[in-house]
Amino acid sequence: MTPPPAPPFVYAPDSAQPPGETLKEQLEALGIPQADLARRTGLSTKHINQIVQGTAVLTPETALLLERATGIPASLWNQLEATWRTHVSREESRKALSGQLDWLNHFSLPELVKRGILPNKERTVDNLERLLAFFGVGSPDTAGELWRSYRTAFRRSTVLEPDDYATAVWMRQAELKARDLDCAPFDRAALTDLLPCLRALTVQEPAVWLAELPRLCAQVGVAMVFIPAPPHTHVAGVTRWLAPDKVGVALSDRFKKDDHFWFTVFHELGHVLLHGKRLTFIDDTRRGNDATPEGDRSEAEADAFAADTLIPPEHAAAYRQLTQRPMPFTRIEAFARQAGIAPGIVVGRLQHDGALDWKHGHKLKRTIDITLVQGSDSLQSE
């Protein structure tokens, strides 16, 4: 598998020249002494010398005076000054970041290389800057504050755990991919009307899901993306509003089987339809990681929404009869056909409800594999 290319990194020269060096060269070329330039501009000789030495800021007002005295446009002097000050600030910033390289220890650098986020696994200031640029933050401290502000995304503790950093990588990749998707403005009623169509996809081949789920959801303002989860994480899905009229829904490869996949799809869509736009909802396959009543309630509501969408109330009576033992698999398949859903989903529901042993029925489930190939997602059935 060829990893996607690393994100572009803005070139910054290792050295820059203060505008005073250019001024000194131009004065020598024009044959104008510094004292004469001082008289021409009305500035003190000391001030001119400080500009030449790079110890005084070359202000826009001074740039205009130099333009009149030397004929060199003020815009050039302003550009030289801005370039120099940016270089000085960058060097100071890199010096400060050199003392924060330990932040890279929170991440699997080989995994970041594999995902095309870093070009190599070296613990360097360049890679630290690349990682900060990937997250869209100014410093490691602001990154931690940002993640903790996602109240339901990292709600186990105010202290970030090791897998939280890996989850943050996954969430950021999902966010960037979702932002790139073209979507119609979010339409709650249209999404509600779309649910039966999405449910009907469960009987199709997984290859169809990859194309149809993002396409159909984009028509109602939902950017749905598939991103493999990093190792040592348990994230299955996430819902986050990207704009007032666009919501991102990302699914990982932690479900493996079609019953878990489709439950996660409708769980996340439940968050979209039932809950507010100010929170990020992350579905952790470990569950039990909610530290707040609000989180518990939201997850329970999304679970109920997914369950009722996959097996609606009108099929409840037939489902209850199905739970009575003995339970031939032919009955499971017959109920699935009657309900219009994949048999694997019925098996997963029976297992969850304790009506079927977890060891039985797996042949009716389809295995799901989401992989990232050359920057694009593929969903395959094994």
How far is the C-alpha of 115 from the C-alpha of 3, rounded, in Å?
6
Query: Considering the entire predicted model, what is its pTM?
Result: 0.81
pLDDT given at position 372: 38
Backbone φ and ψ for 55, nearest 5 degrees, come out as: -95, -15
Q: What CA–CA distances, in Å, run from 203 to 9, 219, 267, 326, 364?
A: 44, 21, 18, 25, 12
At residue 179, does pLDDT exceed 60?
yes
- Per-residue model confidence as pLDDT tens digits over 220-278: 999 999 998 888 788 889 999 999 999 999 998 777 889 999 999 999 999 999 998 87
Tokens of 136: 């869209």
- Per-residue model confidence as pLDDT tens digits over 104-150: 999 999 999 999 999 999 999 999 999 999 999 999 988 888 877 76
pLDDT given at position 3: 46
Q: What pLDDT band is residue 14 in, cutting at 50, 70 and 90?
A: low
- Per-residue model confidence as pLDDT tens digits over 49-77: 999 998 899 999 999 999 999 999 999 99
How far is the C-alpha of 255 from the C-alpha of 261, rounded, in Å?
5
At residue 88, does pLDDT exceed 80?
yes
Domain residue limits, the chain: 164-381
Q: What pLDDT band is residue 285 in, cutting at 50, 70 and 90?
A: low
21/287: higher pLDDT:
21
Give first-to-last CA distance, the chain, whole Å.
18
How far is the C-alpha of 92 from the C-alpha of 215, rounded, in Å?
47
Q: What pLDDT band is residue 349 in, cutting at 50, 70 and 90?
A: very high
